[in-house]
Amino acid sequence: MANTTLRVPLLPFSGGWASIPLASWWAPLALTLALWLISRLLKPPHSPRNTPEVRALPGPARPRFGWLLGNMAQLADHRETLIHPDWFQWGWTGVYESLFAQKRIYTFDPAAVGYIFAHPDEFERPRDLRTILGHIMGADSLVVNEGEKHRRMRRALNPAFSAGAIKEMMPAMLEKAGEMVALFERLIDEEALESYAARAPAPEDRVPGARKIDVFKFAGNLTTDIIGIAGFEHDFNSLSPEDDSPALLANRFNRLVDAANGMVLLTEAQNIMPVLDKIPTQSRRVIGEVRGQMERLSDTLFARRKEVGYDPGAKDLLSLLVKSASATKSDAAMSHDEVRAQMASLLFAGSTTTAATISFILFELAKLSEWQEKLRAEVLAGHARPSFEALNAFPLLDAVIRETLRLHPPASCTCRATTKDMVLPLAKPIPLRDGRTIDALPVSKGSYFFISMVCLNRLKEIWGDDAEEFNPARHADPALPRMQVPGVWGNVSSFISGPHACIGYRLAIIEIKVVLHALLRAFEFELLPSRPHIQHFSSLATQPQVKGEPGGQMPLLVRRHRV
C-alpha cells in the first residue's frame, strides 16, 4: 500500500505546512490536535454558558449559513439605533447573534440599564470594546480601564469638571464662539470660500444672501479649540480658512472616526478574535497614525507646562495632570503613559461628541422654524455676553438641548459583560419563547450585553406617543418621564450614568449653550433646498451623515438673522 501523506497547516495564517503519513498511528491524533488548536485560536472570547432564560429570550432567527455574520447583515441599514425595527415587537430585552455566532443580549429596559451602569464591577466593558478604545485612545485611558485604576484616574480629573472650574472656562468659550460667528459671516459674504464652507452645493442650494455650510465641520473645529484653551492653555486655531490643512487636530479626529467607521465588520471581527488583530488594515493604519500624532502633541503640551511651572492649587486639566504625574503616594497619582492617554482621550472625546450634538440641535431647529424663532427670541432678550448663571437660566435653551440629547445621544450605545453569575432586574417582564414570562433575568458570567441608549430615550411608554418627534415642550410636563431614566442630566441616558458616566458632561452642556446662544443671535438655519437625507450614524462616536456620502457632515443653509 502506498505511503500516502496528508498536508496540514502548522498554524492558521502562518503559511507553514507539515506532511503526515496516513499509515502512521499518530496521524489521527495529530490531525485532532491541529483542528483543536485552530478552533481554540478562532474561538471568540465571549462564549459563556448561557442560562436557560437567555437561550429562551425572544429575538431574530439565525439566517441560513449565518454562523459567520450572525444577524449583523440585518442591521446594516439601521445605523441610527443599531437595533432592527422588527425586533421592537418582542419587547425591551432580547437576544441576537453577532459575528461567529456570538450571542448578545440587547436591552433598553430602563431598570436593567440603570442596574448595569450602577454596578461597573459586575458589568465591565468587554474585551472587544476595550480593544478598539485602546487602539484609539491608549490602553491607559480613563475610558478603557475598570476597577480601582479607573477610580484613581477619575479622582485625579474630577476637580477639572466641577461647576467652579467650568465657570472659569466661560471667557474662552465666549471668545471662540465669537470667532465662529465672524467666520460664518465671512463664509456667507465671500464667494471664494464656498468650497471651504461645505462640499460642493447642488445648483438649487446656491441661494442669494445665504451659504451652504457644514456646521458639523466647524462645530468640531470650535470644540477642539475650546478644549485646547480651557483644558491645556493651547489654541489650535482651527477656525481659520487660511489654515485648513490635514494637520489640523480637528481634521485628524475626523480621519480617525472615519477610519473606525470604515470597515465595521472586519474591525469587530478583529476585536472579537485576537488572532485576527494581526491582519493589517487601512483603518488600523490610520488609527495608529492619528493616535501617534495625538500622543506627540500631548507630550509637547505636558512638557511645556512642566517646564514653566504650575499652580498646585489650579484646577485646569493640564495642571491636574502634571500634579498627578509628580505625585508619589497620592491615591490620584498617574504614570506618564496614563497622563498621555488622558490628554489624548479628553481632546478627542471633548470635541467630537459635543460637535455632533450642536449639529443635531441646529438640524432640528432648521426643520421646525417655530422652535428656532422661540429660542432666538429667548437668547436675544438677554445680554450678548451672558454670565454663567444667566446662560443656565434660559428655560427653552435648556429644553431644546435636553430634547436633542434624547433623540440624538452622543453615546448612542455601549456594551458590557458580566463578571459573575447574577440576576438582572427588569422594568418590563419578558415573554420567553418557551411560554414562560419572567420579571428578572438570570445571566451567567461572561454574558454580553448590547445597550441602546437611543432606543431607551425614545420609549413611548416613558415619553408618550410622540417620542420619535422633536418636542422641547415635553420637558415642561411634570408627568414626564413616566418612569425613572438612568442618566446624570435631563432625564436622558445620553451621558450614561453611575461611576462610569461621562466625566465632562457639565462642560459639554455649557459649551453647547454658549455656541447656540452666539449662533442663534446672529444667524438663521434652514434645510437645504436639495433636501439631502441626513442620518444619525451610531458607531465609535455618533455622527451626522448625508446618506450616500462618506464621512460625517451636517450641511445647512445659513443666512444672517433678518431683524
Whether 456 and 485 have beta carbons less than 8 Å apart is answered as: yes
- Residue in the structure block whose three cell numbers are 440576576: 423
DSSP string, 81-123: TSS-GGGGGG-SEEEEE-GGG-EEEEE--HHHHHHHHH-TTTE
Q: Where are the beta strands (DSSP E) in 157-241?
A: 210-214
Whether 317 and 158 have beta carbons less than 8 Å apart is answered as: no
Give dist(CA 359, CA 511) in Å, integer.
13
Query: Rounded to 10 degrees, what is the CA torsion of 516, 258, 125, 42?
Result: 170
Which triple of cell numbers denotes residue 532? 439631502
Tally Cβ neighbours within 10 Å of residue 230. Answer: 23
Give dist(CA 399, CA 473) in Å, integer.
7
Identify the helix (H) or strand (E) that includes residue 226: helix 215-232
SS (H, E, C) 481-497: CCCCCCCCECCECCCCC
Task: Check the annotation: does 502 bind a ligand.
Answer: yes
- Residue in the structure block whose three cell numbers are 464656498: 194
The type of residue at 49 is R
Q: What angle do CA 416, 417, 418 make, to 5 degrees?
A: 125
Give dist(CA 251, CA 519) in Å, integer.
22
Which triple of cell numbers denotes residue 477? 410636563
Q: Give the closest residue to 264 by CA, choosing from 98, 40, 87, 84.
A: 98
Strands 448-452 and 103-107: parallel
Whether 92 and 108 have beta carbons less than 8 Å apart is answered as: yes
Within 13 A of 211's CA, how many CA atoms are on the CB side?
22
Which triple of cell numbers denotes residue 297? 502633541
Q: Residues near 430 by Cβ (< 8 Å), separated by ≥ 6?
A: 57, 58, 91, 92, 93, 94, 437, 438, 439, 441
Q: Give the closest residue to 93 by CA, choosing from 364, 455, 495.
A: 455
Whether 492 and 402 have beta carbons less than 8 Å apart is answered as: yes
Q: Residues near 493 by Cβ (< 8 Å), separated by ≥ 6?
A: 113, 409, 453, 456, 457, 485, 486, 487
For residue 497, report the phi and psi dihedrals to the nearest 5 degrees.
-155, 175
Whether 301 and 148 have beta carbons less than 8 Å apart is answered as: no
Q: What angle do CA 494, 504, 148 make, to 5 degrees?
A: 100
Q: Which residues are annotated as a binding site?
A: 502
Annotated binding residues for heme, as ranges? 502
